[in-house]
Amino acid sequence: MSNEKAALEQPERESSLEENSFANPEGIDEKSLVRKLDLKLLPPLTLLYLLSFLDRSNVGNAKLVHLTDKDQLNITGNQYLLTLTMYFVGYVLFEIPCNIILKRTTPKFWLPTLMLAWGIVATLLGVTQNFAGFVVARFFLGVTESGLFPGVVFYLSMWYKRTETHYRIALFFSAASLAGAFGGILAYGISFMDGVGGYRGWRWIFILEGLLTVLIAAASYLFIHNYPSTAPFLTEPERAFVQARLKGDSDATNDEKFSWDNVASAMKDYKCWLYCKLRF
């Protein structure tokens, strides 16, 4: 009996040793490697979300500096609330399509492109001439920003183990607080440009903050990376180790093909709908 038990345990030990040898053939320090990933991935992603939140929330600051006045866009209280709502209509409708596009393209292309698009829309908010134009621009701001948060969540899952991902998402999400902290101060300073170039202060808030997003979006094509297998800041052994870590943790590195069955499965999952409800 003991011989049979030993015979069964022996392949398991050999398999474990073989797996460990494959996972870390160069004796790589896992903690140091994870810190390296943090320093390379989290700062640029956090900056993207900070600007995203700044561009979606600056409408409140613009309202304080005469956006809704009769001699400007002449927006009533209910109309102002509609402009806020239309952002989330576009956001909710296009979250899934944006993630499908991310799956079909690459993060290095899609995330900066989204940022460039919403930066242009945010800038155009500053030159709208009536309520209808402002509502349409707010809708498309929601459309263009909708792919960032779910896209980054997917992106991080391709680099970190499940036990590590939630902490990185929390750090990424904290950028919203930073945007809220200095967004008002920034808008206050910009409001003193009232009358410059014939534009009121609220217009300059949208224009300058939108242009800032466009400039950083153009630069982000250089510092957003794709996946571990092609990361230029990792050595070949480090790339293999990162992929081996994920392979042992989940199927995140299996490079699954896109499937409408997976989309249908997500749409039928009540947890997805509960999450959507929480977002409201």
Assess if residue 121 is contained within a domain.
yes
Q: How many CB atoms lie within 10 A of CB 240?
A: 19
Rounded Cα gap, residues 115 and 46, in angstroms = 13
How far, rounded to the nearest angstrom, does the alpha carbon of residue 165 sit from its chain's CA centroid?
14
The whole-angstrom separation of Cα 5 and Cα 109 is 53
Residues 229-247 pLDDT 10s? 899 998 898 898 888 888 8
Determine the structural domain holding residue 160 and report its residue range: 45-279
End-to-end CA distance of the chain: 61
For residue 207, the model assigns a pLDDT of 95
Q: What pLDDT, in 10s, does the model give residues 203-219?
A: 999 999 999 999 999 99
Residue 279: which pLDDT band, with cuts at 50, 70 and 90? Answer: low
pLDDT of residue 80: 92
Does residue 67 sit within a domain?
A: yes
- What are the tens digits of pLDDT across the range 54-68? 999 999 999 988 888
pLDDT at position 260: 81
Q: Does residue 97 lie within any of the structural domains?
A: yes
Write the DSSP symbol of residue 156: H
- With respect to residue 23, please indicate whether it lies within any of the assigned structural domains: no
Asked whether residue 37 is domain-assigned, the answer is no
For residue 136, is pLDDT > 90?
Answer: yes
Task: Give the total number of structural domains in the chain.
Answer: 1
CA dist., res. 168 & res. 162, Å (int): 10
Residue 78 has pLDDT above 90, yes or no: yes
The span from the CA of 32 to the CA of 38, in Å, is 10
Three-state DSSP class for residue 51: helix
Dihedral over Cα of 93, 95, 100, 105: its sign: positive
Poorest-confidence range of 120-124, 205-209, 271-275?
A: 271-275
CATH at 62: 1.20.1250.20
